[in-house]
Amino acid sequence: MGLLSSRNLVNIGIGVGKGTMSIINEAKATAAMDLDELKKAKVEVNTIAKKKQEEYNNALRVTNSVGGGSFGVYMFETMGAEKLSALSKLSPSELDNQLKQVKFSFENLPKEQAAIYEEGSYSGIAKSNYNKDIDALKLEKGLVKNNNLGESTAKTFSGFVTQGVRKTASKEEDKILGQVSVPEIGVDTSVVGGGYGSIGQTAFQDSRIKLSIDQDYVDGTLQQSVLNSNPSLFNDPKALEEAVNEEYALRVTNAQNIFNTNQGDIPQVNTDIETEITDENINEILG
């Protein structure tokens, strides 16, 4: 009785059929889970990509406002989009003061190091970095084409019976990946601020040294200083007013020159003791 009976053949066939359906159902369940995770990743990447676009565009607006150029390259290379974008949320005076610090560092670079930033484009660097960030984001979230989807079992029996599942899942995967939305970055470069030369002007208006001069002007300290130097003006109110205004303009100009060439608000004075600006020594400090 070496031959199998018809009943045995039927039982084997039923067993094979059940096993095949089990393999197919398992493959469908696995593919559904994978595609569900892919859909979630797509939504997350689209949301984060939109925020990244805003971050880079804000950074570009800050860079455009100071004229871009080699300084713009320096800003993107040393600070990155995230820090530059954070600057865009500051008040005009705070922003200007921060840019002044960056400008101070830039202008004090050794010549050979400064020359590095003369090559390239800050907008080109921004776009390159943006694309790298998006690619890294996709990889991090698993939003990449899974070319090995079921391929490890493709030549096995289970691979054979699930090839239809794998083909359908692959099409769905392509559809989801095609729904990833990566917005372009870029801002209107024709709308710029005051340019590189204007950095520090707004911050100077709110600086302690400028406020000190203004206070002297308002409370009469500056007028008294002028009279001390030229008592004859006491009997000529008009000439005194002109002299006070000239002295005020001179002090403001000198103070602004010092402010723009120093990293901090208070000028650096070469002395063995800490020097504080007062009504008595401000003339000496301002030169």
Q: What is the pLDDT of residues 177-198, one digit of tens each?
A: 666 667 888 876 655 667 888 8
> Smallest Cα–Cα separation from 184: which of 138, 136, 130, 144?
130
**Residues 69 and 189 grouped into a single domain:** yes
Q: Is residue 1 part of a domain?
A: no
Q: From CA 286, how far away is CA 256, in angstroms rounded?
A: 10
Distances (CA, A) of 74 to 17, 82, 97, 194, 241: 68, 15, 17, 18, 46
Domain end residue (candidates: 170, 195, 220): 195
Residues 153 and 126 occupy one common structural domain: yes
Question: What's residue 182's pLDDT?
Answer: 75
**Degrees to nearest 5, angle at CA 276 with 270 and 282:** 85
- Is the residue at 202 inside a domain? no
Instruction: Count Cα neighbours of 94 within 13 Å in the Cβ-side half-sphere.
Output: 6
201, part of any domain: no
On whether both 250 and 109 belong to a single domain, the answer is no
What's the Cα-to-Cα distance from 126 to each of 44, 58, 73, 97, rounded to whole Å? 22, 11, 9, 23
Are 101 and 55 within one domain?
Answer: yes
> Looking at the structure, do residues 97 and 27 belong to the same domain, yes or no?
yes
Q: Does residue 264 surpass a pLDDT of 60?
A: no
Statement to judge: residues 133 and 274 lie in one domain = no
pTM over 0.85: no
In a domain, 94, yes or no: yes
Q: Do 102 and 87 meet the contact criterion of CB atoms below 8 Å apart?
A: no
Nearest CA among 50, 91, 19 for reference residue 181:
50
Structural domain containing residue 282: 207-286
> Does residue 270 lie in a domain region?
yes
Q: Residue 258: pLDDT band by 50, 70, 90 thresholds?
A: confident
The pLDDT-based confidence of 32 (bands split at 50, 70, 90) is: low
Out of 135, 168, 195, a domain closes at 195
Residue 200 lies in a domain: no
Q: Are 145 and 175 in contact, with CB atoms under 8 Å apart?
A: no
Does residue 195 contact residue 251 with C-beta atoms inside 8 Å? no
What local confidence, expressed as pLDDT, does residue 196 receive? 81
Q: Is 287 helix (H, G, I), strand (E, B) or coil?
A: coil
Backbone dihedral region for residue 80 (phi beyond 0: left; psi -120 to 50: alpha; all else: beta): left
Question: Position 224: which residue type?
Answer: Q
Domain boundary among 195, 229, 259: 195
| 109 neighbors 75 (Cβ within 8 angstroms) | no
Is residue 191 domain-shared with residue 65, that is, in the same domain? yes
Does residue 271 sit within a domain? Answer: yes
- One domain, residues 142 and 224: no
Q: How confident is the model over 66-84, as a mean pLDDT?
A: 90
> Distance of CA 38 to CAs 45, 101, 179, Å?
10, 45, 11
Of the spans 54-58, 165-169, 216-220, which averages the highest pLDDT? 54-58
Q: Which residue has the tokens 């000198």?
A: 254
Choice between 131 and 174, residue whose per-residue pLDDT is larger:
131
- 258 or 155, which is more confident? 258
Query: How many separate domains does the chain show?
Result: 2
Instruction: Clarify whether residues 48 and 174 are in a common domain.
Output: yes
Identify whether 232 is part of a domain: yes
- Are 172 and 83 within one domain? yes
pLDDT score for 8: 45
The structure tokens listed for 266 are: 């208070």
Q: Are residues 230 and 159 in the same domain?
A: no
Q: Do 54 and 81 fall within a single domain?
A: yes
